[in-house]
Structure 1
Amino acid sequence: MDMLNIDISDFLQKHQLPDSYQTLARDWYLPIIEEIATHQNSAKRTITIGINGAQGSGKSTLAQLAVYVLTQHYSLSVVSLSLDDFYFTRQERTQLGQGIHPLLATRGVPGTHDITLARRTITQLIHQQFPVSIPRFNKAEDDRFPVESAEIITHPVDVIVLEGWCLGAEAQHESSLIQPVNDLEETEDKDLAWRRYVNEQLARFYPKLFELIDIWIMLKAPSFDCVFQWRLEQENKLKRSLSESDKQTQIMDEKAVGRFIKFYQRITENTLNTLPKKVNYLFELDENRQITKLTRPTQSTLNTDLPCQWLVFTDMDGSLLDHHNYHFDEAIPTLTALEQNHIPVIPVTSKTAAEVELIRDSLANHHPFIIENGAAVYIPQDYFEKQPEGTEKRGKYWVKSFVQPRSYWQSLINQLRPKYQNDFVTFADAGIDGIIAMTGLNVHAAACAARREFGEPVSWHGNGNLKQQFIAELNALGANILEGGRFLHVSGQCDKGRALKWLTDMYQNTMPEQVIQTLAIGDSQNDKAMLEQADHALVIRSPVHGLPDIDRTHNLTVSTFFGPKGWAEGVTQIIDAKLHSDSFNLPRGNHG
């Protein structure tokens, strides 16, 4: 079939496009779509196409054209998705606006999308976990369509087409956020709270969505200056397609469009600078949205040979350490092999720094570690060439803290104490002897456990329903409560995933010539954030509780065995499988 001469006149009519689009498609887009169809055929699996473009650049039309051609002329099963379809509901964004910053009530920027839902939807399509519900967003109402009107996919999909204005966008360095890019930032985000929140969301959650994309296409605007006119044309087109009653709802006039695009300016401008060198197909546009150039990467650019550096982030109790006796004998051969192959094993735990230091000594581990459920990262001084920005020297470590000190969280607990007087005991209440009784630790280990710096463990003895009320009231005071295997951990808005991301970035900054691959290992619900954040997740089965509730299905492994035996089994399975090297073979531990 000659793809260059296919008739798309019915497509043009349906989407109210001029005849000139036929020429545009023939000269630029159809050859690319043909290559994608060929690629899907050879891959013999579901592939995902990501299309990036600024507001009004034509990415939605290109996505629709790809669906049309792949469906009608290649008989492929295609699902079209827009990142816009995964905006939080209007109510959810209102809550963000009230709780974090008023600008978050306006849809658009990272932090206003339900990335968990987007990842789950695409992953379910890839792995054929039917039925799959496809959400859709009603821009005229500025809200998601009702769930009952969602499209339901019940059959295998060959190609997923995902388009979005910030697909592939990168977070910026903190210093880049200081100078406002427009009057919206200058007057309505004076303390940088909105910029920082958006940037953090982009850094933490969006890369896990982007990694699901196989083929990248970018429609590159010449600059942000022309985006206003493009976005205005887009709004007028939407207006023409609506009934008179709908036009009175959320359709924007010229002034409103001018304000609206200012929300997008910072990330759009940064993406125009950073994304072009990374995509598979780069279409450069002029001010009239005419394509002036197509750049394709060389084969070596597509299949990078950069060396891979693994980082293993591991929970301790119940994962690397046996739940009952804290032994790790069955993991020793694997730990030794990792060290010999320069793969850091980074403890991530609810324990204190003092406790982790004891464990690191027994493990002969000299790498950084994360304490108190992500409240702080401890890095041995001189581990990196220079002290990471945002850390302070504390003893022999550089320390990055994410929350307020322990005394603050104790004061919040004490506010609620009269209401729950006999329902709980904190570590501070229990003292060394009480901690020994609750944990079975020896006196020296219990003394280390008592040296909390950023939070307070609570042992709950009362009614289970009251416990949830207690947690809710602490949340209302601004605390964050994580439920571990034994205790409630009361601290601030930190988690193991955020700390993992920060430390991974520090490694990447020091070794830009390598591709960092992260493996997170855990067994309980308070490990969820890092299990979701890492490139690969290993869930260790527990003899005392069920598996944590993990959203991801991509790069997820569940151990067969408990504790350190399952730890060695899973690490070997994941890292050996990815390295494909005869020179690297992790021993499988004592599985007799």
Structure 2
Amino acid sequence: MDMLNIDISDFLQKHRLPDSYQTLAEQWYLPVLEEISMHHKSAKRTITVGINGAQGSGKSTLAQLAVYILREHYSLNVVSLSLDDFYFTRQERIQLGQGIHPLLTTRGVPGTHDIALARKTISQLINQQFPVNIPRFNKAEDDRAPAESEEIITQAVDVVIFEGWCLGAEAQDDRLLKAPINDLEEFEDDSQVWRRYVNEQLARFYPKLFELIDIWIMLKAPSFDCVYQWRLEQENKLKSSLSEQQTSTQIMDEKAVGRFIKYYQRITENTLNTLPNKVNYLFELDENRQITQLTQPLPTKLSSNAPHQWLVFTDMDGTLLDHHNYHFDEAIPTLAALEQNQIPVIPVTSKTAAEVELIRDSLGNHHPFIVENGAAVYIPEGYFDQQPEDTEKRGKYWVKSFVQPRQHWQSLIDQVRPAYQHEFKTFADAGIDGIIAMTGLNVHAAACAARREFGEPVSWHGNGNLKHQFITELTALGANILEGGRFIHVSGQCDKGQALAWLTAVYQQTQPQQIIQTLGIGDSQNDKAMLEQADYALLIRSPVHGLPDIDRTDNLTVSTFFGPKGWAEGVTQIIDAKQHSDSFNLPRGNHG
């Protein structure tokens, strides 16, 4: 790259940087920023640049330089964001600490960020959905800044600069979490609850945020050993910029910094090993933060010609199946078109595997399916070339289970039963005849519904206030409670979103040449995790209850009609709008 001669003296003065930064910028950063301006010009759309770097590596300063150069010298409208701006509030983190593990009170690791807010903010900027409110986090107060201090964007943005210490980080194999990496993990997380929660959050929610990034830059530290000194310098710089009253509150001393960086050590070290060959621009740093080398492991491609593979994950009752009669006639033309275009429709339901098998036969569906509110994924044997890891052979399926078997959850219900003896009835209590009475199913379907494997449905017919207490007691015993349209489902820590993420990853591993896009479809609160996790969400209106409370606002569609009619309407609207191939058209005129 050629060296560019651009005077940045006013930038150096504003940010109190040494004159040597001018030489650093000219030699290493300015040519890259020129290339980014050219990428924007060719892309003809808003592009997002992600900057990864360990604590104190200089990523925030590089982000500020990028904004300055792209604005002043290339006349681009630039917005700078930090992953730090999306930390949960202090009160929210206190609640995480009380409910899951005390270490989650401290900001920093995956699981302490509001990823839904981050995705919403960046998506709004990319799609020019103005006005866009930019949240800011006050590190001195260890809390999100008040709403009145938010920046409000009202004009089209050319480039979004997004920096963060764990951008692009990957979750680790669970087996690697067992051995503690430092004394913080050894003595304050001896049960591994904290690091497993952090790892799960990183696996489930952060990839959807990282997908919004077009160009990746990494400032690679030589090792984690440098981070303490770098982070201490960063804290001292923050201290010098604040008043004496402010510094007496949340500014850390040397001992506090030493403890603080231990929260980051596991993910930082893993990222130093896994990310360098996956970025577009890799700046390698020495112990003094001087750049020793720039490489470009991956070429920058803003528009991919890779084919897109849709996966349609759909709830059944009240969504694809009519709430009153379980018919799906109005969705048949759309289902046929999806199958013709090799778009899998994957049932995701509270039903048992035996029930879903019956429905799949009537649908002519041969794809994987998710049962009992995400408790397990069933994949027909041979569906993929190889059996996925962590699955077991059960009959004609490869099965991935996320929770303990049904008997465990029945034993928990029996523990609390004496206080609620006449308030509820489980499927096990009801038997086949009782299930028929509760559901309206025929005897064969009711027998299939009785074959629970991973949880127990409860029909509550007593006092509503006692129901809340019943749920609270079961939760305290370790159960996860989901309330569907008709039943309370008692099982483990699983949900439809977790199962969707796992199965999507399997599809992606078997089809690495394709870009997987997911559509989640549901109508009730137990669909929320799936609707939040999918790339696109479709809410189906119900004739008997309101819409579920969904946090996301991006890529969200609400049907006009109920049940299968709304299902067909919404699927057509979403996939037709996003599919670029002229050969793909879902049927129209069948939806009223």
What is the one-letter code of the residue matched to 1:175?
Answer: R
Please say if residues 51 and 218 of structure 1, whose CA atoms lie closer than 8 Å, have aligned partners that are also in contact.
yes
What is the one-letter code of the residue matched to 1:474?
Answer: L
Please state how far the C-alpha of 1:302 moved relative to its aligned partner.
5.1
Please state how far the C-alpha of 1:328 moved relative to its aligned partner.
1.8
2:143 is equivalent to residue 147 of structure 1:
no
SS at 2:276 equivalent: coil
What is the one-letter code of the residue matched to 1:408?
Answer: H
Distance 1:35 1:558 in 2: 41
Q: Structure 1 residues 537, 33: CA separation in 2 closer, same or farther (over 3 Å shift)?
A: same
Distance 1:148 1:575 in 2: 36
Distance 1:514 1:42 in 2: 23
Aligned counterparts, 1:390-401, within 5 A: 390-401=390-401
What is the one-letter code of the residue matched to 2:512?
Answer: P
The answer for unaligned runs of 5 or more in structure 1 is: none
SS at 2:13 equivalent: helix
- Once the two structures are superposed, what CA deviation does each residue of 1:84-116 show, in whole Å capped at 9, x if it has no partner? 122233443344344433433332211122222
SS at 1:122 equivalent: helix
Q: Which residue of 2 aligns with 1:491?
A: 491
The share of aligned pairs that are identical, in percent, is 83
Please say if residues 568 and 588 of structure 1, whose CA atoms lie closer than 8 Å, have aligned partners that are also in contact.
no
What is the one-letter code of the residue matched to 2:290?
Answer: Q
SS at 1:342 equivalent: coil
Q: Which residue of 1 aligns with 2:155?
A: 156
Aligned counterparts, 1:129-208, within 5 A: 132-141=132-141, 143-148=142-147, 150-153=149-152, 155-158=154-157, 159-208=159-208
Deviates more, 1:318-327 or 1:377-386: 377-386
What is the one-letter code of the residue matched to 2:291?
Answer: I
Q: Which residue of 1 aligns with 2:67?
A: 67
Distance 1:583 1:155 in 2: 38
Q: Which residue of 1 aligns with 2:506?
A: 506
Q: Which residue of 2 aligns with 1:377?
A: 377
2:559 is equivalent to residue 559 of structure 1:
yes
What is the one-letter code of the residue matched to 2:454?
Answer: F
Q: Which residue of 2 aligns with 1:123?
A: 123
2:353 is equivalent to residue 353 of structure 1:
yes
Distance 1:292 1:461 in 2: 70
Distance 1:134 1:310 in 2: 32
Please say if residues 120 and 554 of structure 2, whose CA atoms lie closer than 8 Å, have aligned partners that are also in contact.
no
Please state how far the C-alpha of 1:513 moved relative to its aligned partner.
3.8
CA RMSD after TM alignment: 3.1
Aligned counterparts, 1:425-440, within 5 A: 425-440=425-440
Q: Structure 1 residues 386, 148: CA separation in 2 closer, same or farther (over 3 Å shift)?
A: closer
Task: Provide the TM-score with structure 1 as the length reference.
Answer: 0.89
Distance 1:517 1:406 in 2: 33
Please say if residues 308 and 515 of structure 2, whose CA atoms lie closer than 8 Å, have aligned partners that are also in contact.
yes
SS at 2:154 equivalent: coil
Distance 1:176 1:411 in 2: 32
Q: Which residue of 2 aligns with 1:269?
A: 269
Distance 2:92 2:434 in 1: 43
Deviates more, 1:422-431 or 1:216-225: 422-431
What is the one-letter code of the residue matched to 2:150?
Answer: E
- Once the two structures are superposed, what CA deviation does each residue of 1:36-86 show, in whole Å capped at 9, x if it has no partner? 445556656544332111111111111122233444555655433211122
Q: Which residue of 2 aligns with 1:461?
A: 461
Distance 1:458 1:124 in 2: 41
Q: Which residue of 2 aligns with 1:233?
A: 233
Distance 1:479 1:109 in 2: 26
SS at 2:355 equivalent: helix
Distance 1:547 1:47 in 2: 34
Q: What is the aligned length?
A: 590
Please state how far the C-alpha of 1:184 moved relative to its aligned partner.
3.9
Q: Structure 1 residues 312, 220: CA separation in 2 closer, same or farther (over 3 Å shift)?
A: same
Q: Which residue of 1 aligns with 2:534?
A: 534
Please state how far the C-alpha of 1:180 moved relative to its aligned partner.
4.3
Distance 2:168 2:271 in 1: 8
Please say if residues 333 and 588 of structure 1, whose CA atoms lie closer than 8 Å, have aligned partners that are also in contact.
no
Please state how far the C-alpha of 1:154 moved relative to its aligned partner.
5.5
Please say if residues 135 and 147 of structure 2, whose CA atoms lie closer than 8 Å, have aligned partners that are also in contact.
no
Distance 2:145 2:229 in 1: 32
Please say if residues 94 and 104 of structure 2, whose CA atoms lie closer than 8 Å, have aligned partners that are also in contact.
yes
Q: Which residue of 1 aligns with 2:9?
A: 9
Deviates more, 1:7-16 or 1:436-445: 7-16
- Once the two structures are superposed, what CA deviation does each residue of 1:345-379 show, in whole Å capped at 9, x if it has no partner? 21100111111111112122222211111111122
What is the one-letter code of the residue matched to 2:548?
Answer: P
Distance 1:424 1:69 in 2: 66
Please state how far the C-alpha of 1:155 moved relative to its aligned partner.
2.0
Please say if residues 134 and 153 of structure 2, whose CA atoms lie closer than 8 Å, have aligned partners that are also in contact.
no
Aligned counterparts, 1:27-46, within 5 A: 27-37=27-37, 39-40=39-40, 45-46=45-46
